[in-house]
Amino acid sequence: MPHASPWPAPTADEYQRAVLRARSDLHTHVHTAAEAPCPAGTRTLTVRPDVWASWRRSLESLHTDPAGPRAPEDVLDEDSLRDARLAHAFHQVLPLLRTRLVEPASDAGLLVALGDARGRLLWVEGTVPVRSRAESMGFLPGADWSEASMGTSAPALALATRRSTQVVGAEHFAEAVHPWSCSAVPVTDPVTGNTLGVIDITGDTDAVAPLVLPLLESTAREVHDELRRLRDGGRHPGQGASAAWLAVTGRRHPALVHAGVRRELSNRHAELLVLLQEHPSGVSAAELAEDLHGTAGADGTVRAELVRVRKALVGAFGEDGASVTLASRPYRLEGRLDGDVHAVRRALAAGDVAAVLEVYAGHVLPDSEAPGIVRLRDRLHAHVREVVLEHGTWEQMWAFAQLSEAAEDERVLTEVLRAAPCDSPVRAEVVLRLEALEDSAA
């Protein structure tokens, strides 16, 4: 016969009232309460041990008032968030996560958050009204939700204990989070076994329903298996597990991102790397010269530039176990170089508009005049536009219209105006943009 839990259900009113009383003990008797884990004779007997231990760690880290922090103080800016997303393994499995978890959770009025191993939220997805409510307490992409920043929450506790967990209402350290409940599971790296991140469902008490943790755990296993498959299929002898990432869409400062480190590239080096990515089987110096300079006669110049690219890759990754190297005869990249161009294409092929807009930040190398880059740029933008118009919601079309390249796209703006609700504040700005286009045409 199973042993009965000494605690009522965490969602029960009596338990939540007892938890609130225990919070008072935590602050009043902070020194005596350090005895592990729920000392007899105190109200901590009513609090689940993992939650009590997390409260203690949170208090020691934050040295805050009894209400706890109101919101995270450290939130990544837009560029830093984009780089952090591109560098994280979850980025490779977003279609799986959206199909398996995000879509059903959103339909149920819940949020799905994906965080890194430090507790930084990289993605928070769900319906606009629920996201807006959560943002009021700082639960948004780029925010640090570790114990050291916001105290006890399911994402923080799952990372601290490396176990699946749920945190309900008043169990949260910060009072601002008491109206919410959450379930979270850690995800481990299939190669190293280290924790690479956390998957969380947040919302009302539906977020801690009995079926939620099994769903999260099965999703985490699928993510683990898919990452193993991707890495086993793409690894080269002598290489580590992670790929480098070439960020070139919407970038006047293109970059290589690897192991969380971002290195800016010159436009010429970025052009060459993009073109080499387009020819995985190899390409001659003359062909590269055509794509870069419009004439095969510039092959000598290209060879000299490729020498500098090779040195730049060695400088970025080192001689031993380099993630990406440049081979010759024909010129080709060896190693694992992914990037936003390839990720956009994968998302386009899957018809995943959300994933497309997650990655596509605008024109490929917008300052480049190299013929091969211009052709790639125009084709990719046209394909993105077509898929957004054909399969996107009005919100996704509006998100596309925020790119400078689409800000004056009359058809996109017209479709947004046609589909947006009558009470949407977006309509006023769309009308202003369309009127400005009419004025300029006149």
pLDDT value at position 317? 67
* Distance (Å, whole) CA 90 – CA 174: 28
Separation in Å, CA 59 to CA 30, 71, 377: 9, 15, 52
Q: What is the pLDDT of residues 192-250, one digit of tens each?
A: 888 999 999 999 999 999 999 999 999 999 999 988 887 765 543 333 445 788 999 99
* Position 37 pLDDT exceeds 50: no
DSSP state of 142: T
Q: Give the domain ranges of the chain.
A: 13-62, 78-234, 244-339, 342-441
Q: Is this prediction's pTM over 0.75?
A: no
Q: What is the pLDDT of residues 369-406, one digit of tens each?
A: 999 999 999 999 999 999 999 999 999 999 999 999 99
- Cβ(296)–Cβ(287) under 8 Å? yes
* Distance (Å, whole) CA 96 – CA 82: 20
* Distance (Å, whole) CA 328 – CA 183: 51
Q: What is the CATH topology of the domain spanning 78-234? A: Beta-Lactamase (3.30.450)
Q: Which pLDDT band, with edges at 50, 70 and 90, does 74 fall under?
A: confident
* Distance (Å, whole) CA 403 – CA 126: 22
* Position 340 pLDDT exceeds 80: yes
Q: What is the pLDDT of residues 248-266, one digit of tens each?
A: 999 888 988 876 677 889 9
The tally of CA atoms less than 13 A away on the side-chain side of residue 307 is 5
Q: What is the CATH number of domain 244-339?
A: 1.10.10.10
* Distance (Å, whole) CA 52 – CA 34: 10
What is the Rg, in whole angstroms, of the alpha carbon atoms belonging to the chain? 25
- Cβ(323)–Cβ(317) under 8 Å? yes
Residues of the chain with pLDDT > 70, as a percent, come to: 88
DSSP state of 242: P
Q: State residue 245 phi and psi, 5-degree precision.
A: -130, 125
Strand locations in 51-173 (E): 111-116, 121-125, 165-168
Can you read off the two tokens belonging to residue 200?
């969380």
Q: What is the pLDDT of residues 139-182, one digit of tens each?
A: 999 999 999 999 999 999 999 999 999 999 999 999 999 999 99
What dihedral angle (degrees, nearest 10) is formed by the CA atoms of 352, 101, 108, 152?
-130
Q: What SS3 state is found at 51? A: helix
pLDDT value at position 5? 55
H or E stretch covering 104: helix 103-107
Can you read off the two tokens belonging to residue 285?
């110096």
Separation in Å, CA 404 to CA 112, 245, 250, 410: 29, 23, 9, 13
Do 244-339 and 78-234 fall under one CATH topology?
no
* Distance (Å, whole) CA 241 – CA 321: 11
* Distance (Å, whole) CA 353 – CA 103: 13
Tokens 């490779």, located at residue: 92
DSSP state of 243: P
